[in-house]
């Protein structure tokens, strides 16, 4: 499924770090940065998480929650958060149902080998649960800053 700007973000409920459960319904009324990443503790994913963490207070000041999502287990997410001092939730989609609903579980290719994996993608969702911005095939450097600027500019 291809998501488009202006449509409702697909509903989800996922287990998350610190024994939490994250759902789109529980985030209503707040702006949400939903970022999808391939794997805990790999270089690009660590850098992306650290960049969002460094701007955490600025996102909070802009009334915006940050939620990271990958197919890794909650146990893996908890270790990753502790190791890198992250204080925003990481949700686990081991079944990949939510990743598929958001269109980020895709066929990838490396060295001629095809496999399924997460395409690094970020969505900005408004207070009503509508998608207002989509970043596909994210390049990590300066990405969190760009997302922050978009969140600040979103007044709804």
- Among candidate residues 22, 24, 45, 90, the one labeled active-site is 45
Looking up tokens 């999808």 gives 36
- Number of helices (H) and strands (E) in the chain: give both, helices first: 6, 9
Question: Catalytic: 45?
Answer: yes
**In whole angstroms, how far apart are CA 141 and each of 2, 10, 31, 55, 89?**
25, 28, 23, 13, 21
H-helix or E-strand spanning residue 126: none
Q: Which residues participate in catalysis according to the annotation? A: 45
């Amino acid at each position: 499924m291809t998501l488009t700007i202006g449509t409702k973000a697909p509903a989800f409920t996922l287990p998350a770090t610190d024994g939490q459960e994250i759902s789109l319904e529980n985030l209503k009324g707040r702006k949400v940065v939903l970022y999808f990443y391939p794997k805990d503790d790999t270089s690009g994913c660590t850098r992306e998480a650290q960049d969002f963490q460094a701007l955490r207070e600025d996102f909070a000041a802009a009334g915006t929650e940050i939620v990271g999502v990958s197919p890794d287990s909650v146990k893996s997410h908890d270790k990753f958060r502790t190791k890198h001092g992250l204080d925003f939730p990481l949700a686990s989609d081991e079944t990949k149902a939510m990743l598929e609903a958001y269109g980020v579980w895709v066929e990838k290719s490396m060295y001629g080998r095809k496999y399924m994996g997460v395409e690094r993608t970020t969505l900005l969702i408004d207070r009503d649960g509508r998608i207002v911005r989509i970043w596909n095939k994210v390049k990590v450097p300066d990405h969190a800053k760009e997302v922050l600027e978009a969140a600040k500019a979103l007044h709804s």
